[in-house]
Amino acid sequence: MATQTSTEIAAVELDLMRSISKTSHLTPAVHATRTSTDSHHSRASINDAELSNLILPYGRSIIVIIQLAGINFLTSFASGLITVALPTMAASLPLDSSLLVWPAAAFYLTSGTCMLVAGSFADVLGPRSVNLAGCFLIAVFTLACGFAQTGVQLIMFRAMQGIASALTFPSSISIVSRSLESGKRRNIGFASLGLAMPLGFSFGLVLGGVFVSGLGWRYGFYIGGAASFLLFPIGLWALPTIPHSNGQTSVRVRLAKDVDWIGASIASTSLALLSYVLTTLSDNVDNIKTASNVALLIVSVGLIPAFVFWVSRQEKRGRPALIPNSIWKKGAFATICVLVLLSNAVANCMELFCSLFFQEVQGLSALQASIRILPSMVVGIALNFLTGTFVSRVEAKYVVFVSSALCAGAPLLMAVIKPQWPYWYDAFFAQLLAPLSVDMMFTVGLLVVSESFPQQTQALAGAVFNTVAQLGTSVGLATTSVISSTVTRDSDFRSKESPAALMEGYRATFWALFAWMVAACIVGGFGLRKLGKVGEKRD
């Protein structure tokens, strides 16, 4: 998605899909929600006695965590499979070179666009039914990808997978936050949801390579779809039924009165247009000059003040507001959103540009590049386990600041690296530091918003938070694409495709990522200065 020059972006996109760029490091839905002063929610709320009855026993809690994490694992597994198998898939379907980015991009475009509406559905209809619907659809369309006969069919099935994942992400967060006992059990539940994503992507990369060289790429989707179908009956049995706060009214009435449809439409349209423009910009920086993209970008940005005006009007009238303006007055929530945006941008861009550095500058194969990035995945997996265990023992502001400061060392090391240096001199340590911020922020961010906002809007809150994470990835990749290609194009080297010219662009990108993480340290240190421990067990 980042390129050396405007004429070779498609080639780099193909390298990216062959490499280990796991844009699915994007975190699953996390939560944000409406304020307790929202008069719409104050009219009907679940009392404390009802909430206590929702807490699941230990054994069933474990099964619920496994089922929910399993969905995230298999969703990410398909993305990893796409990444490593795309060249073979493109040749066998066939898939035009101009569409190479879309089997991956279509998933994130539809997922991000539908996330807010899906979160609203989960809060009104109940997270269990929405999650089960998403699980079933993920199974169906994962299998469908294996049966795709044309490139367009593959892209459409991946788009439907994105819609299905939008149903599961917010509802998973709602189920964990509302049915698992606060404290260590809930912390581990949140951490497991985060762990499943990079783990699933890693398995997709490895098994995808095996299938491509053996049985064929289609078998990866067959296995992923079959496993998703197995999780569906487990969910039917294990997932708890969580009553709606106004459960005595009909579903039709709740959908009409409890969902801000206009706000959701405005926000989703703005996100869809922006995501599309950013995707085309990542494919070719010169696409920003086209009239259609300029028009779409103007409309997308113009819808932002329209959304702010609308939700303000809704709040004043005591009606449901998708994301009340007053929520941003909560310092911890606003700060967490900024930090998640920055940390996701840095993490995903680090994966991409490290992979490009290993392949385009050092001349390594995609497999060799993947092996060199593997330590970041191992650290990320370990961090999710550890964070769920110790996060309640340390004040969150220290966890966030220290992890962000250490993570800033990763792009700094890559910015000063020399291509002739052995891997163990510099790049290895950069890979160890790279995932610290994004993995810590996932669990801490979940806990901050979960403990700050009403129980009945956890799914929509998770959708809002996850949308911020995906936006960070999209903006980060598009911005670094422009930086890299522009610096390479303006370099003094005659051949803009030479390793030395490419390194100029990559080095500038790493410096930009370092600056973003320094900004994250400053924002976190100031915005979370009053935040104490999170994830502690409550009586």
- Using CA atoms, how far apart are residues 439 and 22, in angstroms rounded to an integer? 14
Beta carbons of 344 and 476 less than 8 angstroms apart: yes
Same domain? For 292 and 358 the reply is no
Does residue 73 fall inside a structural domain? yes
Does residue 141 fall inside a structural domain? yes
* 358 DSSP assignment: I
Does residue 44 fall inside a structural domain? no
Q: What CATH number should be reported for the domain holding residue 69?
A: 1.20.1250.20
Q: How many residues does the chain have?
A: 539
Same domain? For 128 and 277 the reply is no
- Using CA atoms, how far apart are residues 509 and 220, in angstroms rounded to an integer? 34
Same domain? For 88 and 203 the reply is yes
Same domain? For 208 and 72 the reply is yes
Same domain? For 280 and 400 the reply is no
Does residue 46 fall inside a structural domain? no
Q: How far is CA 352 from CA 171, 372, 410, 467, 473, in A?
A: 30, 12, 13, 21, 11
Same domain? For 251 and 183 the reply is yes
Going by C-alpha positions, the residue among 429, 140, 381, 122 that lies closest to residue 255 is 122
Same domain? For 285 and 175 the reply is no
Is residue 40's pLDDT more than 60?
no
In this structure, what are the phi and psi dihedrals at residue 122, rounded to the nearest 5 degrees?
A: -65, -35
Contacts for 318 with CB less than 8 Å, ≥ 6 apart: 39, 40
- Using CA atoms, how far apart are residues 170 and 112, in angstroms rounded to an integer? 11
Amino acid at 264: A
Is residue 42's pLDDT more than 50?
no
| DSSP per-residue letters across 478-507 | HHHHHHHHHHHHTSS-S-TTSHHHHHHHHH
> 456-512 pLDDT, tens per residue?
777 877 787 788 888 888 788 888 888 888 898 888 887 877 888 889 999 999 999
pLDDT at res. 222: 94
Residue carrying the six token digits 């106004």:
246
Range of the domain at 299: 260-319
* 298: its two tokens: 């103007």
Does residue 532 fall inside a structural domain? no
Within 13 Å of residue 375, how many CA atoms lie on the same side as its CB? 14
Same domain? For 314 and 398 the reply is no
Q: What's the domain count of the chain?
A: 2
Domain boundary among 319, 353, 369: 319
Kindly state the percentage of the chain with pLDDT values over 90: 27
Beta carbons of 391 and 184 less than 8 angstroms apart: no
Same domain? For 272 and 253 the reply is no
- Least confident residue range of 34-48, 451-465, 508-522: 34-48
Same domain? For 84 and 142 the reply is yes
Burial class (CB in 10 A: 0-12, 13-18, 19+), 134: buried
More confident residue, 9 or 283: 283
- Stretch 414-422: mean pLDDT: 93
* 316: its two tokens: 């004043």
Does residue 464 fall inside a structural domain? yes
Beta carbons of 332 and 452 less than 8 angstroms apart: yes
Domain boundary among 319, 340, 359: 319
- Stretch 409-425: mean pLDDT: 94
Beta carbons of 327 and 34 less than 8 angstroms apart: yes
Q: How many CB atoms are closer than 10 A to CB 45?
A: 15
Mean pLDDT, the chain, integer: 80
Beta carbons of 277 and 300 less than 8 angstroms apart: yes
Does residue 536 fall inside a structural domain? no
> 220-236 pLDDT, tens per residue?
999 999 999 999 999 99
* 148: its two tokens: 């795709």
DSSP 3-state of 331: helix
Does residue 179 fall inside a structural domain? yes
Angle between helices 151-179 and 58-92 (to 10 degrees): 170
- Using CA atoms, how far apart are residues 370 and 529, in angstroms rounded to an integer? 38
pLDDT at res. 32: 35
Domain boundary among 277, 299, 319: 319
- Using CA atoms, how far apart are residues 300 and 274, in angstroms rounded to an integer? 6
- Stretch 177-205: mean pLDDT: 82
pLDDT at res. 5: 36
Going by C-alpha positions, the residue among 268, 241, 265 that lies closest to residue 130 is 241
In this structure, what are the phi and psi dihedrals at residue 31, rounded to the nearest 5 degrees?
A: -120, 150
Same domain? For 451 and 402 the reply is yes
Same domain? For 274 and 422 the reply is no
Beta carbons of 442 and 27 less than 8 angstroms apart: yes
> 82-109 pLDDT, tens per residue?
877 877 888 888 877 667 778 877 888 8
94 upstream amide cis, omega within 30 of 0: yes
- No. of helices (H) and no. of strands (E), the chain: 19, 0
* 54: its two tokens: 């929702």
Buried-exposed string 66-100: b where 16+ CB fall within 10 A, e elsewhere? ebbbbbbbbbbbbbbbbbbbbbbbbeebebeeebb
